Amino acid sequence: MKPIYSLLFLLFFANSCEEPKTISSVDPVNWNKRMITYTLEDSMISGSTYLSVYSEIYSQSEHRTHNLTATVSMRNTNLSDTVFIDKAAYFDTHGNPIRSYFDKPVFIAPMETVEIVIDEVDREGGTGANFLFNWRIKPTSNEPLFEGVMISTSGQQGLSFTTQGKRLK
């Protein structure tokens, strides 16, 4: 009986040491449900928004960093109009593209928030990661709001801060 417990313990220990297989919490099914299949009106206003996010930040010196979880919020601040997002592209510190989250326009319903989560183990973005969003709205609509919330906890210590998107010309 003792060898069975030892074997179970070893199997449990071995499985608990594995790194997670996914590095991003993006659910592709969510994007597929949001994709639009019709042509948007020509009268819509197009815009682009830049959002800084951080996969890691420096601590004590440039040789030590802390990993962060980043939540990227795409918010529709309209009571009755839908916002359309054509592109959500993630770039690293050096401006190299890491990933694009969808290849067809997606919608965000009135007053809805849609999120992208960059997991703490995903360090690809580095200390200067950023997003570029391309969007479309009706001429009478409010622009979408893009925010980032970064957080890390270890023991009793916690660190969190936010960033807000900046519209590009």
First to last CA, the chain: 71
| 31 secondary structure, DSSP code | H
Please report where in the chains the tokens 């819509």 appear, as a residue.
44
Q: Where are the domains of the chain?
A: 22-168
Token pair in block for residue 55:
């996969």
Say yes or no to pLDDT of 1 above 70. Answer: no
Residues 6+ apart with CB under 8 A from 93: 125, 126, 127, 128, 129
At 10 the pLDDT is 54
For 14-53, how does the pLDDT look when each residue is reduced to its tens digit (9 = 90+)? 554 544 444 555 555 578 888 988 888 889 999 999 999 9
Return the CATH number of the domain spanning residue range 22-168. Answer: 2.60.40
- Using a cut of 0.85, tell me whether the model's pTM lies above it: no
Q: 66 falls in which pLDDT band (50, 70, 90)? A: confident
For 101-142, how does the pLDDT look when each residue is reduced to its tens digit (9 = 90+)? 988 899 999 999 999 999 988 889 999 999 999 999 999 999
Side chain identity at 113, as an amino acid letter?
Answer: T
Token pair in block for residue 146:
């893009």
